[in-house]
């Protein structure tokens, strides 16, 4: 009888430890993968002279495979490293040149580190969180279109090229995780950052633009 009691006590202890190990407690690592959308909220300045008055730009949203890695530093504080494939954004004419369509494109790789505060107990099935981090927004592979070349006086032999300045910004975030098993969970998040940059054309013309992107995504994750 005593042996049976000891066995039940050992089993209960192991189950208890297993529950603790799978909670979002200090020392827990979490990985996730899903889809992330970056949607710029554009306020465009005018392209500098020589150009039509009111020559502006707009930037389309893009969705890519994304995810990240989180580490629970305490039961409530985590450090998060979001990861994603580069986003490719189409740049369209706006304002006085709204009818010309695509004038270029640029790829963007936002590199972010976040500190998050997760509410409720470590063992809670649903845990909302808030985060704040630093992001380096790296713009690369900019391409101008034939329409941009025509608008700025270039030629097929000497097309107009463009560059976009990379920037450091702050990234606030809200989100939540929902446990769907001992180890698996669903993560959703939303953030909106203030981002202003400058585009410079090979003609010497410049354009200031506020992108102020919204970012949101959903992912399935695994904790260990």
Count of domains forming the chain:
1
- Alpha carbon distance 172, 163 (integer Å): 27
Confidence of residue 179 (pLDDT cuts 50, 70, 90): very high
Looking at the predicted structure, is the pLDDT value of residue 9 above 50? no
Return the higher-pLDDT residue of 28 and 4: 28
Looking at the predicted structure, is the pLDDT value of residue 14 above 50? no
Q: What pLDDT does residue 22 have? A: 55
Per the domain annotation, does 182 fall within a domain?
A: yes
Q: What pLDDT does residue 7 have? A: 46
Question: Given CA atoms 125, 130, 135, 137 in this order, what sign does their dihedral have?
Answer: positive
For residue 188, the enclosing domain spans 24-223
Per the domain annotation, does 44 fall within a domain?
A: yes
**Tokens coding 197:** 């940059």
Per the domain annotation, does 137 fall within a domain?
A: yes
- Angle, vertex CA 211, rays to CA 188 and CA 83, nearest 5: 40
Q: Is 194 helix (H, G, I), strand (E, B) or coil?
A: coil
Looking at the predicted structure, is the pLDDT value of residue 143 above 50? yes
pTM reported for the whole predicted model: 0.87
pLDDT tens-place string over residues 85-136? 999 999 999 999 998 999 999 999 999 999 999 999 999 999 999 999 999 9
Per the domain annotation, does 200 fall within a domain?
A: yes
Q: What pLDDT does residue 23 have? A: 84
Question: DSSP for 39-96?
Answer: E---EE-PPPSSS-TTEEEEE--EEEEEEEEEEESSSSEEEEEEEEPPEEEEEEEEET
Average the pLDDT over each of 16-20, 79-83, 147-151, 214-218 and give the range with the smallest value: 16-20
Average the pLDDT over each of 4-18, 30-44, 66-80, 90-104 and give the range with the smallest value: 4-18
CA distances from 184 to 29, 72, 122, 223 (A): 12, 16, 15, 7
Per the domain annotation, does 7 fall within a domain?
A: no
Per the domain annotation, does 57 fall within a domain?
A: yes
CATH number at residue 197: 2.40.160.20
Confidence of residue 52 (pLDDT cuts 50, 70, 90): confident
Chain center to CA of 102: 24
The bridge status of strand 62-72 relative to strand 55-59 is unpaired
CA distances from 57 to 72, 152, 211 (A): 42, 14, 10
């Amino acid at each position: 009888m005593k042996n049976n009691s000891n066995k039940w006590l050992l089993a209960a202890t192991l189950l208890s430890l297993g529950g603790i190990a799978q909670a979002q407690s200090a020392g827990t690592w979490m990985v996730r993968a899903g889809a992330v959308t970056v949607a710029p909220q554009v306020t465009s300045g005018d392209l500098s002279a020589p150009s039509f008055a009111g020559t502006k730009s707009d930037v389309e949203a893009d969705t890519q495979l994304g995810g990240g890695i989180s580490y629970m530093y305490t039961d409530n504080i985590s450090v998060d490293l979001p990861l994603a494939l580069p986003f490719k954004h189409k740049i369209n004419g706006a304002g006085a040149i709204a009818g010309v369509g695509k004038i270029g494109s640029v790829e963007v790789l936002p590199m972010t580190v976040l500190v998050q505060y997760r509410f409720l107990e470590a063992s809670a099935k649903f845990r909302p969180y808030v985060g704040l981090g630093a992001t380096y927004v790296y713009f690369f592979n900019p391409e101008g279109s034939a329409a941009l070349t025509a608008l700025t006086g270039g030629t097929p032999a000497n097309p107009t090229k463009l560059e976009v300045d990379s920037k450091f910004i702050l990234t606030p975030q809200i989100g939540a995780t929902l446990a769907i098993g001992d180890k698996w969970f669903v993560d959703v998040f939303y953030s909106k950052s203030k981002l202003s940059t400058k585009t410079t054309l090979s003609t010497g013309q410049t354009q200031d633009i506020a992108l102020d992107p919204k970012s949101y995504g959903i992912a399935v994750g695994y904790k260990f």
